[in-house]
Structure 1
Amino acid sequence: MKTFDIEVIKFKEGQHEFDFEINEIFFRHFEDNEILDKGNLTVRVLMDKGPNLIELEFQIQGTVELTCDRSLEVFDYELETSEVMIYKYGPIEQEIDENVSMITRDTPSINVAQLIYEFILLALPAKKIHPDHRNELDEEDYDVEGGFVYIQSEEEENLEESSETEENESKPVDPRWEQLLKLKNKEQS
């Protein structure tokens, strides 16, 4: 993973560019990797080195091989994402938050392999659906009534929602609640 080291100490202030190729050899280096085995991606890292911080912009694009959650078929997923990581100079090396870390001025290099891997995982869809099955309905897209599948159109949903609000507006308010609302409004005034 040394090929993913950016030797920041060698570069002067200004903008610099690095390109990395990601393939199945890259994914083998991560033990907790149960999602990705194969992929062909290119990563362009744009480094803007300033007097007090280093900003790295990651532009990742290519394809990864995923397994469909519905059919268990393997398919290629087009991936394109952009992320930013900031390194501030400080007295110690520590992570400040997920996109900001502190490094010392004599830190020789930053290894970006773990960051690239995490950015790829973040860019994956929550549901991995094969392109052949994307037009099929998901379970949450329909209601089951009396043993039959009833698919509700958007128009019917909108009509149902508007009739519910009309019903709520036309119902008389319980006098006890009215009194409580008056008390509440009085306290707020």
Structure 2
Amino acid sequence: MKFLRTFDIEVIKFLEGKHEIDFEIGKEFFQHFEDNELLDEGHLTVRVLMDKGANLIEMDFLISGEVKLVCDRSLEEFFEPLDLKEKIIFKYGDEEQEINEDVYMITRDTPKINVAQFIYEFVLLGLPAKRIHPDYRTEMDEDDYEGEGMYAYIDGDTFEDEETEEEINSEKQEEESTDPRWELLKKLKNKE
């Protein structure tokens, strides 16, 4: 746990105003979390832009670098670039508690805020849902197909391409010439 203390921001020592705190993250960082089977290596730079006010502290987390993932399709390892921006607000109150996922209450005499867990969670949330190696991203996956309501059925007979625009136009002309309603409309138009 001594390693994770390097991610403490001693907020009580900072004066009101804007401050920048930088962290470097490597493999050792990810090994300190229980569920690190999702992510166990990365090279990231974290810049925390802290704005300490009279009633609250705002922290913007700018996270950039790359993390090592395992491809869901080929099981090959690859590095995925990350470029994330997240925000946490710490409000002063009577007790320390989480108000929601982005807002926390701290007491005025809270000496420090450890940001390691926040950084880890931001990185996990920034990972792609499907981890596909860059070599396989151009291949179309059946699950990725976005053609709504389109089905194809081939029964073994020869498959004809879609009708050309000329064929469609000639069919329309045939319909127009055979439908007696069109004839009546043409006659009305010609009288004008």
Shorter-chain TM-score bucket reads 0.7 to 0.9
1:41-60 to 2 correspondence within 5 Å? Answer: 41-60=44-63
| Structure 2 counterpart of 1:35 | 38
| Structure 2 counterpart of 1:145 | 153
1:31-180 to 2 correspondence within 5 Å? Answer: 31-140=34-143, 141=145, 145-146=153-154
Distance across 2 between alignment mates of 1:29 and 1:129: 26
Structure 1 position 18 matched with structure 2 position 21: yes
TM-score, structure 2 as length reference: 0.74
How well do the aligned residues superpose, as a CA RMSD in angstroms? Answer: 1.6
Unaligned runs of 5+ in 2: 160-192
How far does residue 145 in structure 1 lie from its aligned partner after superposition? 3.2
Change (3 A) 1:137 1:145: same
- Residue 19 of structure 1 aligns with an amino acid whose one-letter code is D
Give the secondary-structure state (helix, strand or coil) at the position aligned to 2:18: strand
Give the secondary-structure state (helix, strand or coil) at the position aligned to 1:145: coil
| Structure 2 counterpart of 1:153 | none
Provide, for residues 154-188 of structure 1, a one-character-per-residue CA deviation record: whole Å limited to 9, x for no partner: xxxxxxxxxxxxxxxxxxxxxxxxxxxxxxxxxxx
TM-score, structure 1 as length reference: 0.75
Structure 1 residue ranges, 4+ long, deviating more than 4 angstroms after superposition = none
- Residue 44 of structure 1 aligns with an amino acid whose one-letter code is R
Decide which structure has the larger Cα Rg and report it.
Answer: 2
Unaligned runs of 5+ in 1: 151-189
Change (3 A) 1:145 1:61: same
Give the secondary-structure state (helix, strand or coil) at the position aligned to 1:132: helix
How far does residue 101 in structure 1 lie from its aligned partner after superposition? 0.2
Aligned residues: 149
